[in-house]
Structure 1
Amino acid sequence: MAALALTYDHAPQRLALAWRLVQNAVMDAHNATEERAEALAERFASLRGSLVSWFTRRVSDAHDAEDLVQESFLRVAQQPDLDAMEHLDGYIYRTAANVLTDRYRHVNRLKRRAVLVPIDDDHGVADEIDPHRDLAGRLELDALSEAMMSLPERTRVVFILRRVEGLRYKEIGIRLGISVSAVEKHVTKALELLALRMESWQ
């Protein structure tokens, strides 16, 4: 999937081009008419504001948030069974959560490849740095990331919406089209599985 390499100097033109890419993706994946593609793009547009806000709180950069929203929409647009989905909004939100998880994994990989060690002007490497503690911390973070990715997709999305975004159970249920009791079961399942994975890691 081609990344959206668009500048922010002309925001209206940029947004128009981005939506056109979404429409084209729908038409390519579903052999849909232009009217159908426009209708789906309008559905995406109705959720754009809330998704931009959600991503911005996670990545602290409005430009990155915009790109992540478009990435989410493009992923959804390319799904072959899009027309048969009963809860399209919920699927879009779940896809957004997966896009964010992929972003975190990418950032973590970059950090592991380039471990930055503070430099002391007089001695080269800062004396207070404990390499063993730093390594242990990074290994624990890696283990937690792997544990999160091992969760079933729906359970992982529910857990992110609850623990990262801070949504109430009822709000999560409405967003994903599931019952409150189902949300509670997913959260409990996530906590149990994460605890087991981290216990085995230790």
Structure 2
Amino acid sequence: MQRHGEEDLKAANQATLRQGIAGHYARLLRIVRSRGVNQDDAADIVQDAYARLTVAAERTEVHNPGAFLHVTAINLIRDRGRASISRGLSAANEAPPEDIACPAPSAERLIIGRQNIEVLERALGELPPKRRAALVLYRFDNMSHAAIAEQLGISISMVEKHVRLALEHCRLRLRQAGDVIDE
């Protein structure tokens, strides 16, 4: 009997996961491409990120699939870069010059980044639904104010107000937390 309950929970988690990741593919592909990755490699990285999300979701509940995908894709880009550098160094059989900066962020910067994501997730959760939707559509989906207004059934000036107030709220929460993300 308990087995049936576990299967129901797993099916519910998978359904929630599918709903949570719908629409992230195009945005994630744009993010990966903006990091200088070619189209084919970008598609592979995004697919790998989705595969890792699926595996993680089988083990535990993923509260923010979009953030998971984003962080995973960025880590995959870094991993590919490191592997590429490693192959190049092995082929050349020489040590890297000491004056070249490491492309990976420091451990401190990674921790700060993760803390900023948590602060922003909480800040987004504090926003009224239309304000949050306007900000997400504008910043993450790169929609125009006119398209957002049409989708949300509000005026363009109201979209501008929602986006402005949402950004101010997020910046305030980051300042209160003690760090500000580069814009």
TM-score by length of 2: 0.49
